[in-house]
Amino acid sequence: MSAIFPKWTNWLPLAVLVGAGLAGAGVAVGVTIYLTPKYYRVGYQPTQPVPFSHKIHAGQLGLDCRYCHSEVDKSWVANIPSASTCMNCHNQVLKEDPRLALVRASATNNTPIPWVQIHITPDYVYFNHSVHVTRGISCVECHGRVDQMDQVHQEKSLSMSFCLDCHRDPAAHIRPTDKVTDLGWKWDSDPIKAEQMQQTYGAKFVHDWKVESLQSCSACHR
C-alpha cells in the first residue's frame, strides 16, 4: 500500500517549529533594538507654543541655565520658568513682539504656557536633578549642547543603559561644580591632556564628594 503523503512531509512539523523559532527571535531582536528610547526618542523635537531659542538665550546672551530652571540644583525636577521670569527681560526687550503674545498673556492672567515636555523618563524611574547637578554632573551629559539649539530636541536616549554607563564610571563624566552649567567647558583644549585631567581630577572629585556608583535596581526604581 503506497503512502498518502510523500516522505519529505515527515520533516514538515520540525521545519515549521524552526521557522517559528527564527521568526520569534527576529521579532524579539527587532523589539529590543528599535523599540528603545535610542530609536524612538532621540531626535524628538516638538513644536512649542512659543518659539524660544536656547541658542540665543543660553548661547549668545550667556544666560545661566539656573536663571530659568531655578530649582534644578535644589529639587528633583528641573522646573519650567514662569512667564513672569520671561517678562523680567521682555518687559523691555521685544515687549511688543507678536511672537511673545502668549507669554505676555500668561504673565497677565497668571495662566501657564502649554510647553511640550521633551525629556521624559518612565513613571517607574526616579531621577533627582539636584543630586546630580550638585555633584558635578553637567546638564550637557543628559541634554547635549542645548546652548547651540534654536529649537530643543532630545539628543541622548535616557535609556537604562545610558544611565548605567555613567553610574559605572562617574569619574569620566564629572566636572567642577562651578562648570556644571557651562556646557562648552572642557578640561583642556588638547583632547589628550583633557582626558588625562578628567581621569585624575574626576577620580578625586568622586572620592572627595563621596559620589556613589549606584547600580542596584532600587537606586532608580522606587
DSSP states along 90-148: HTTTTTT-GGGHHHHHHHHHT----PPP-----TT----HHHHHTTTB-HHHHH--GGG
Identify the band that residue 16 occupies on the pLDDT scale cut at 50, 70 and 90: confident
pLDDT digits (tens, 9 = 90+) for 181-199: 999 999 999 999 999 999 9
Q: What is the mean pLDDT of residues 203-219?
A: 94
Lowest mean pLDDT among 12-21, 98-107, 168-177: 12-21
- Measure Cα distances from 206 to 6, 36, 66, 100, 202 in Å: 71, 30, 23, 44, 6
- Please state, for a pLDDT cut of 70, what percent of the chain lies above it: 88
Residue 137's beta-bridge partner residues? 174
Give dist(CA 122, CA 41) in Å, integer. 12
pTM over 0.85: no
Predicted confidence at residue 35, as pLDDT, reads: 55
Q: Mean of the per-residue pLDDT values for the chain?
A: 90
In the numeric block, which cell numbers belong to residue 39? Answer: 530609536
Predicted confidence at residue 8, as pLDDT, reads: 66
Residue 54 has pLDDT above 70, yes or no: yes
Give dist(CA 189, CA 176) in Å, integer. 16
- Please state, for a pLDDT cut of 90, what percent of the chain lies above it: 76
- Given the C-alpha cell 521579532, which residue does it identify? 27
Residue 39 has pLDDT above 60, yes or no: no
Helix (H, G, I), strand (E, B) or coil at 174: strand
Residue 13 has pLDDT above 90, yes or no: no
Identify the band that residue 40 occupies on the pLDDT scale cut at 50, 70 and 90: low
Predicted confidence at residue 37, as pLDDT, reads: 59
Give dist(CA 123, CA 22) in Å, integer. 34
Predicted confidence at residue 18, as pLDDT, reads: 80
Handedness of CA 73, 77, 78, 79 (dihedral sign): negative
Predicted confidence at residue 60, as pLDDT, reads: 96
Residue 162 has pLDDT above 80, yes or no: yes
Lowest mean pLDDT among 84-88, 120-124, 149-153, 179-183: 120-124
